[in-house]
Amino acid sequence: MLTYVAYLLTSQHFFFETCKMLALGTKVYGSQKVIHGGFSGTTQHDLVERADGFAEVFPEHKYQVFETLQQRGHLTAMTGDADCGIAVEGASEVAQAAADIIFLAPGLSTIVLAIKIARQIFDRVKAYIQDRIALCLHLEVYLVMSIIIINETVRVELIVFIALFADLATVAEAYDSVHSEERPVEWQLLKNPIISVVLGTLLALGTWVIRGTLYLPNGGVIQKFGSVQEILFLDVSLTGNWLIFVTRGGKTRPFFQLIAVTLGVDAIPTIFYLFGWLSGKSIQTNPVDMARQWEDS
């Protein structure tokens, strides 16, 4: 369900049979009833909103119909200038230049496909932005707090690897399934950054919890051979990659490609952690400690 209504506006005479063939409804009115019918205010808006189409209209009448629908809070799209300008297949170069979407195939089915793809693109862009902001805040908030509180930071080469692994996992989002909303969507300038900030802050606090357990008498979540740097490296890498499954939403199941690539990318820092390749030591890490690190992350 895409939850959209198609209006057919034409300068020709009444076209009841055409509307029936296109399953658009038969509530078709002439422009005279709307423009010169003595209606105004709410009555006129209700008439336009409930109609299936208008015949014998001039260009200025079309704009008046769309302006009325916009005042009622509806997103509008038409050939020309509206919330979304559409140029149909075979339209003139002038119409294509003024349009936001150009149909390359004839028929009304292209409208449905365009709406579906546009909403999927919007959902994917929103998930990507939330993921990127949260990942940046995760590392930045933790690093700033660790420098201020305990005068400790993460080595530069580890930060480079963290960024590289996060980018590799993000590439797999292009092969993931995307949900198409039933109603028109709008960019929520305040809500999306707030969600990203909350996610990034929670990830930073989680990393701080793991770092704080290292001060416990039993060592907390710590490897028997290695360094604190490797523990933080693996934690940030794993949580950053798994964040994709949070920001993508839960309305569709993730594709196998996304799961496989994410697990494959997670295996790389895990191997580095297990064999101590980034700490300069040749001693292997206890696999039990590695499993605990995965569980806590």
Q: Give the containing element (helix H, strand E) for 77.
A: strand 77-78
**Among positive and negative, which fits the CA dihedral 128, 129, 135, 136?**
positive
Neighbour-count burial of 118, counting CB atoms closer than 10 A to its CB (0-12 exposed, 13-18 middle, 19+ buried): middle
Same fold, 8-110 and 122-296: no
- Per-residue pLDDT averaged across 58-81, rounded? 73
pLDDT at 198: 92
Residues contacting residue 131 through CB under 8 Å, at least 6 positions apart: 170, 173, 243, 244, 247
Q: Hey, where are the domains in the chain? A: 8-110, 122-296
- The proportion of the chain whose per-residue pLDDT surpasses 90, expressed as a percent, equals 2
Q: pLDDT-based confidence at 1, cuts 50/70/90?
A: low
Is residue 230 a contact partner of residue 154, using CB atoms and an 8 Å limit? no
CATH no., domain 122-296: 1.20.1110.10
Is the pTM value of this prediction over 0.75? Answer: no
Predicted confidence (pLDDT) at residue 168 exceeds the cutoff of 50? yes
Measured at the CA of 78, the angle between CA 77 and CA 79, to 5 degrees, comes to: 145
- End-to-end Cα, the chain, rounded Å: 38
pLDDT at 197: 92
Q: Give the containing element (helix H, strand E) for 9.
A: strand 8-9
CATH of 8-110, one of 3.30.930.10, 3.40.50.1000, 3.40.50.150, 3.40.50.1820: 3.40.50.1000
Residue 290 is which amino acid?
M
